[in-house]
Amino acid sequence: MTSDTIAAIATASGLSGIGIVRISGANALEIAKNICSASLSPREACFTHFIDQGDIVDQGIVIYFPAPNSFTGEDVIELQGHGSNIVLNQLLNLILSFDARAAKPGEFSERAFLNNKIDLIQAEAIADLIESQSQFAARSALRSLRGEFSKKINQLIEQLIKLRMFVEAGIDFPDEDIEISSNTFIEENTLSIIESIAAVVQQTERGCLIRDGVSAAIVGAPNVGKSSLLNYFAADDIAIVTAKAGTTRDVLRQEILLAGRTIKFIDTAGLRTSSDEIEQQGIKKAAAHIQSADFILFLQDVSVDGAKREQNIIDIKQELALFNIEPNFNSVFFVINNKIDLINENPSLHEKDGVIEVNISIKANLGLDLLEQALKKQLNLGGVEGDFLARNRHLSCLQSAQTSVERGLSQFKSHLASELLAEDLRLAQDALGKITGAITSDELLGEIFSSFCIGK
Ligand SMILES: Nc1nc2c(ncn2[C@@H]2O[C@H](COP(=O)(O)OP(=O)(O)OP(=O)(O)O)[C@@H](O)[C@H]2O)c(=O)[nH]1
Ligand SMILES: [Mg+2]
């Protein structure tokens, strides 16, 4: 248990009906008794005056949550006053004039974690829930907060512990005839753990996409309508659109909500070999964004002679390679043939060999609904109802656990190296322990909680 008492304003600054100041720690109750006129009963909302040496600072509600049944696991007092920055700061300063100090960002959640009220995944989910940008992300963060992700990691850890027991028993008692720890049994169980980890890795990858949002890079030759497409989705004139090729030089980003999910559109400089230094720089900058994009919207102008229709992935990749761009191999490709108004064609959509091809006119507003539906479909493929929210940190720990177990299995298969397998299983368990916080370092905790808001 941490000994000092912390306090912070827990609500956002600004004008609001109610503002909350929170106190946590051993002195919380004593401080509340000093400043509240009401007598306090556990978990009861009491109307009170907040008093500073005889002066009434504000009036409101006080609630006392005695340890250990509080958010932090310590004595917690919540003072609900009026949502005025002046009043709330006065109240906070009054509290700090007793034996308490201002809380650091995330310190309430950190204490909840240190007092085993929540694990690290759940603590991170609190911050992610507060910061979520879409309904889908909020719902998924709530699932993590409710422990659904933690349960999966704990199940993997249990599976690993059981297997480690058998493997280590075989090492310690090699002469005993422990039938169940036969080589086949160990091999089969290790393989089954690898499969279980792989399934959670897949879900975690989706969880990271939910947290970070899906990115869609709009790519293509100059003047094909890339910036017009960005403006269409943003429903605003974010990018300059002109008939002059080479208009966009910088990378432009816009987050848009589609089907309850956040999608980050990235407009890039038109790809062409140019002697203009600014344009070259723009293309270089675009490359990095295109390489990491989840969706690549490859735009072309159908009215231009020689515009290749029915592009396949190989053609597009070859074209991008000319500019040293190698897209992420998981990227979903959309070929968007724009300006069909100029050749009097009807909008349409085809899916072939992993490429989604849509014929549209941004100017004449033709086929944009088809494109939007195709994007929504891809977004939904990426997220299954029941997904939880995850961070890249979780994914890399899971991947490192996966690598350890795979290495252990291959050494066991080729050399019957039980000791090496046992060590790799231990490493895998440690990696998973870092996700839930069973194993932590001060550095990691500092990094995680410092990104929280104050009062949480
Ligand atoms: N006829 C027609 N013109 C279009 C259509 N979409 C865009 N345009 C025009 O094409 C020109 C180029 O559009 P932009 O959106 O600036 O093209 P871009 O791909 O961003 O161009 P750069 O930034 O130079 O690479 C502008 O004059 C647009 O009005 C369309 O569907 N039909
Ligand atoms: Mg442009």
Could you read off the pLDDT of 141-184 as tens digits, one per residue?
Answer: 999 999 999 999 999 999 999 999 989 887 776 666 555 458 88
Question: Whose alpha carbon is nearest atom 26 of ligand 1?
Answer: 243
pLDDT of residue 313: 80
**Residue with token string 């704990």:** 154
Each residue's pLDDT tens digit, 42-64: 999 999 999 999 999 999 999 99
Q: Check if the beta carbon of residue 404 is closer than 8 Å to that of residue 424.
A: yes
Residue 249 Cα: closest atom of ligand 1: 23
* Distance set, CA 363 to CA 95, 217, 341 (Å): 61, 20, 8
pLDDT of residue 189: 95
pLDDT of residue 170: 76
Contacts of 414 (CB under 8 A, 6+ apart): none
80/58 Cα distance (integer angstroms): 10
Question: Whose alpha carbon is nearest atom 12 of ligand 1?
Answer: 223
- Of the candidates 130, 40, 37, 126, the residue with the CA atom closest to the CA atom of residue 77: 40
Q: Check if the beta carbon of residue 46 is closer than 8 Å to that of residue 38.
A: yes
- Strand runs labelled E in 273-404: 295-301, 332-338, 348-352, 355-359
Q: How far is the CA of 437 from the centre of ligand 1 (A)?
A: 51
Q: How far is the CA of 187 from the centre of ligand 2 (A)?
A: 56
Which ligand has an atom closest to residue 301 CA? 1
pLDDT-flagged residues of the chain (< 50): 180
Residue 68: is the preceding peptide bond cis (ω within 30°)? Answer: yes
Which ligand has an atom closest to residue 224 CA? 1
Q: Which domains does the chain have, with CATH numbers?
A: 6-118 (3.30.1360.120), 127-209+391-437 (1.20.120.430), 213-382 (3.40.50.300)
The overall average pLDDT reported for the chain is: 90
Residue 267 Cα: closest atom of ligand 1: 20
Each residue's pLDDT tens digit, 240-274: 999 898 889 889 999 998 877 889 999 999 998 87
* Distance set, CA 54 to CA 21, 34, 70, 130, 413 (Å): 20, 11, 30, 37, 78
- Helices and strands of the chain, counted as H and E runs: 14, 13
Question: Whose alpha carbon is nearest atom 16 of ligand 1?
Answer: 241
100/93 Cα distance (integer angstroms): 10
**Residue with token string 């998981």:** 330
Q: Check if the beta carbon of residue 169 is closer than 8 Å to that of residue 181.
A: yes
* Distance set, CA 453 to CA 9, 126, 237, 314, 450 (Å): 10, 10, 33, 46, 8
Pocket of ligand 1 (CB under 6 A): 222-228, 241-243, 245-248, 270, 338-339, 341-342, 361-364
402/217 Cα distance (integer angstroms): 31
Q: Check if the beta carbon of residue 356 is closer than 8 Å to that of residue 332.
A: yes
Q: What percent of the chain has pLDDT over 90?
A: 66
132/139 Cα distance (integer angstroms): 9
Pocket probe for ligand 1: among 237, 249, 280, 363, the residue whose CB has the most ligand atoms within 8 Å is 363
- Paired strand residues for 298: 219, 335
Q: How far is the CA of 244 from the centre of ligand 1 (A)?
A: 9
